């Protein structure tokens, strides 16, 4: 039985009438750029993630840029982030004008190690970007404690963590701002690129909106030099149609994770995702560690099971960062993980039979 890594068709067909209706409304109203559908989604998403303000934009990468530009990052500044993420997190630090400083992960949760943050702070450090990787929150109490002691801002990268909670509180509500991606495969996904920044700070929200709209809130009155980063009306309406289902889809992912956990826990070589106490994982990805990862990927692929490696090279070791001459011993956990991690098929509609097939094939190896 082949098992896909994710299946966007199943989700679409389950709510086809709602999606098709939303798209038809936007076309009927020619509300393609900004307008009521974008405004409505911003309101609804802010409410869903317990944020005061939501500034929508073109994608999760721009969201990171907008947040840092609004926080007035400048050349010479250093921004601390995790060694284990998608390149957007660190690339936008550079594009905003600062220097990325990487910290190792904690060895269990795939998120940034607070002790490593403390050691990486210099007089040039201005902020920290923790990433709630795969859907598990980073250690926000420890991170906010460090940030407050050193007067640093925090931007939470929530691209993979819609509705995740830390000690009962939603991610994205701890720092100065939090960024989201609605890339189609994300837990809340558009039908194209889409993103947002949320914040509790009205001044920051207005600054990010200004930056995202060519530097002006009124046509032809450009207060600053901005960029063009817009969520379009079609994506906004699609996201509004999907948002009421997000909590149920998240619970389905969490149930599926339990099925994997109980099957895989009995297999000696497999390390299932470790969840720190008081954190709610939303399983954007279900990522295991296996000492013979490449062999496992080949074996599953030969049997029709799609997997993914997120990510095969930890950020410090990418060619894009060769200028820093990073060494493996600086990031032992991220370095070890890049050779052992593999993400298994995970989506809200995955069946128990499909999961049993995956588990049985792993057991066979
Ligand atoms: C952790 C992380 N940060 C940022 C992004 C960037 O989001 P987007 O693809 O919408 O630009 C992604 C998505 O790929 C991500 O996974």
Please give the distance, rounded to the nearest whole angstrom, from the Cα atom of residue 201 to the centre of ligand 1.
23
- Asked whether 97 and 77 are in contact (CB, 8 A), the reply is yes
- pLDDT digit string (tens) for 191-233? 999 999 999 999 999 999 999 999 999 999 999 999 999 999 9
What are the beta bridge partners of residue 100? 79
What is the pLDDT, as a whole number, of residue 254? 98
Please give the distance, rounded to the nearest whole angstrom, from the Cα atom of residue 73 to the centre of ligand 1.
20
Atom of ligand 1 nearest to the CA of 195: 10
> What's the pTM value of the predicted model, to 2 decimals?
0.98
Place of tokens 């009124």: 218
Which alpha helices (DSSP H) does 50-150 contain, by range?
Answer: 60-70, 88-95, 114-120, 140-150
* Cα(227)–Cα(229) distance, integer angstroms: 6
Q: Which residues does 291 contact at the CB level (< 8 Å), separation at least 6? A: 269, 340
Atom of ligand 1 nearest to the CA of 85: 1
How many residues belong to the chain? Answer: 365
Atom of ligand 1 nearest to the CA of 194: 10
Residue to mutate, 112, 181, 188, 283, ligand 1, most ligand atoms under 8 Å from C-beta: 181
Helix or strand or coil: residue 31?
coil
Atom of ligand 1 nearest to the CA of 62: 11
Tell me which residue has its CA closest to atom 7 in ligand 1. Answer: 60
What is the pLDDT, as a whole number, of residue 288? 98
User: Which is it for strands 78-82 and 99-103: parallel, antiparallel or unpaired?
Assistant: parallel
Residue 302's pLDDT band (cuts 50, 70, 90): very high
243-250 LR contacts (CB < 8 Å, sep 24+): 243/41, 243/44, 243/45, 243/48, 243/188, 245/15, 246/48, 246/162, 246/163, 246/187, 246/188, 247/163, 248/348, 249/11, 249/187, 249/348, 250/162, 250/163, 250/187, 250/282, 250/348
- Measured on CA atoms in the order 345, 350, 353, 356, is the torsion positive or negative? positive
47, two tokens: 């409410």
What is the pLDDT, as a whole number, of residue 344? 98
For range 324-351, the mean pLDDT: 98
Atom of ligand 1 nearest to the CA of 160: 16
Tell me which residue has its CA closest to atom 5 in ligand 1. Answer: 60
Residue 5's pLDDT band (cuts 50, 70, 90): very high
Tell me which residue has its CA closest to atom 12 in ligand 1. Answer: 159
What is the pLDDT, as a whole number, of residue 309? 98
For range 274-296, the mean pLDDT: 97
Average pLDDT over all residues of the chain: 98
Residue to mutate, 67, 86, 186, ligand 1, most ligand atoms under 8 Å from C-beta: 86
- Asked whether 187 and 162 are in contact (CB, 8 A), the reply is yes
């Amino acid at each position: 039985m082949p098992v896909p890594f994710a299946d966007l068709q199943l989700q679409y067909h389950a709510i086809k009438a709602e999606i098709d209706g939303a798209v038809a409304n936007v076309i009927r109203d020619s509300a393609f750029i900004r307008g009521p559908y974008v405004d409505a989604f911003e309101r609804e998403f802010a409410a869903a993630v317990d944020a005061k303000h939501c500034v929508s934009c073109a994608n999760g990468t721009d969201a990171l840029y907008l947040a840092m530009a609004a926080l007035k990052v400048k050349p010479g500044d250093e921004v601390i982030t995790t060694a284990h993420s998608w390149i957007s997190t660190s690339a936008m630090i550079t594009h905003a004008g600062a220097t990325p400083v990487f910290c190792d992960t904690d060895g269990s949760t795939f998120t940034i190690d607070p002790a490593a943050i403390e050691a990486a702070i210099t007089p040039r450090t201005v902020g920290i970007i923790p990433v709630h990787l795969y859907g598990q929150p980073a250690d926000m109490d420890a991170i906010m404690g460090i940030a407050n002691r050193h007067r640093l801002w925090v931007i939470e990268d929530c691209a993979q963590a819609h509705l995740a909670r830390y000690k009962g509180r939603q991610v994205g509500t701890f720092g100065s701002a939090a960024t989201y991606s609605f890339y189609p495969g994300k837990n809340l996904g558009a039908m194209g690129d889409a993103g947002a920044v949320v914040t509790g700070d009205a001044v920051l929200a207005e600054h990010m909106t200004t930056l995202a709209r060519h530097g002006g809130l009124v046509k032809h009155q450009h207060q600053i030099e901005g960029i063009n980063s817009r969520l379009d009306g079609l994506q906004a309406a699609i996201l509004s149609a999907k948002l009421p289902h997000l909590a149920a889809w998240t619970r389905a992912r969490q149930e599926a994770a339990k099925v994997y956990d109980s099957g895989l826990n009995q297999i000696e070589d497999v390390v299932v995702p470790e969840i720190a106490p008081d954190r709610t994982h939303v399983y954007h990805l279900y990522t295991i560690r296996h000492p013979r990862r490449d062999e496992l990927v080949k074996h599953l692929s030969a049997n029709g099971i799609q997997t993914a490696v997120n990510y095969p090279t930890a950020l410090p070791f990418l060619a894009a960062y060769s200028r820093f001459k990073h060494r493996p011993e600086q990031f032992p956990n991220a370095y070890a993980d890049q050779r052992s991690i593999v993400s298994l098929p995970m989506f809200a509609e995955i069946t128990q039979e499909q999961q049993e097939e995956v588990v049985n094939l792993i057991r066979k190896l």
